[in-house]
Amino acid sequence: MRLRHRLLGKLFTFLCLVLTWNTVVEAKKGLTIYQASIFADKKARSVGDLLTVLVIERASASREAKTKTSRSSDRNGKLNAFVGLPTRGLGATGNVLPEGIGLSSETSFDGLGSTQQSDTLDATVSAIVTQVMPNGSLTIEGQRQITVNGEKQTLHVKGIVRDRDISARNTVVSTSLANAEITYEGEGMISRQQKPGLISRLLDWIWIF
């Protein structure tokens, strides 16, 4: 009986050592989140891994410009000869051309323009790790397309994220991305209606001058 207990104890110890060794080997291999291991975390860390980007962007801008210019000039002169001939003694009044000539001009311009824009974007998109940098940061890129009633909306996200900015739930906020490129575009009837027509664009171009 004692021998049996000893054998069972040694077998249990051996199994524990094997499991511990496998865990150490898998950790050294740098497992991705898709490889089976109860000890691996869920954060993306290798090329091909996925993570969720929480796009939370707020942007506002305003600009105002005012221009005012004015210019005036006044010139006076006297004409004593015309094509080499004296002006006096010609005609009934003795002056065919007036002795004094005056010229004056005045120009002014007033311009005022202002623009104001505010944008808000809240969305989520899955991104894939495309590169692991030497410092451990990850280059990620993802795209999401949604089509509803012929209106296609495309969200594209690209940037660099640090490992510490990735949460335990494998998510990252868009404001934590470096060199972030976030575009949101629409194609369809609604998007076309929001754009000014050809005549409006032509008038805007002419108004510049």
The domain segmentation of the chain, as residue ranges, is 50-62+120-207, 64-113
User: Are the beta carbons of 117 and 17 closer than 8 angstroms?
Assistant: no
Query: Which two structure tokens, joined as six digits, stand for 177?
Result: 């991305």
pLDDT at 148: 79
- Spell out a b/e string for 67-94, using b for 16 or more CB atoms within 10 Å of the CB, else e: eeeeeeeeeeeeeeeeeeeebeeeeeee
CA distances from 197 to 116, 185, 192 (A): 21, 19, 9
pLDDT at 90: 47
What pTM does this model have? 0.50
Measured between alpha carbons, how far is 138 from 12 in angstroms, rounded to an integer? 41
CB neighbour list of residue 122: distance below 8 Å, 6 or more residues apart? 55, 56, 57
Could you tell me which of 139, 171, 136 has the C-alpha nearest to residue 55? Answer: 171
pLDDT at 58: 76
Per-residue pLDDT of the chain (209 residues; tens, 9 = 90+): 655 566 666 666 766 666 666 655 555 555 455 454 555 568 888 999 999 999 988 766 666 667 666 666 666 655 555 555 554 554 444 444 455 555 566 766 666 666 666 778 888 999 999 999 999 999 999 999 888 777 888 999 999 999 999 999 999 999 999 999 999 887 766 555 555 656 666 656 665 55
CB neighbour list of residue 91: distance below 8 Å, 6 or more residues apart? none
Q: Is 102 helix (H, G, I), strand (E, B) or coil?
A: strand
CB neighbour list of residue 71: distance below 8 Å, 6 or more residues apart? 106, 107, 108
Measured between alpha carbons, how far is 127 from 136 in angstroms, rounded to an integer? 17
Could you tell me which of 157, 153, 155, 152 has the C-alpha nearest to residue 141? Answer: 157
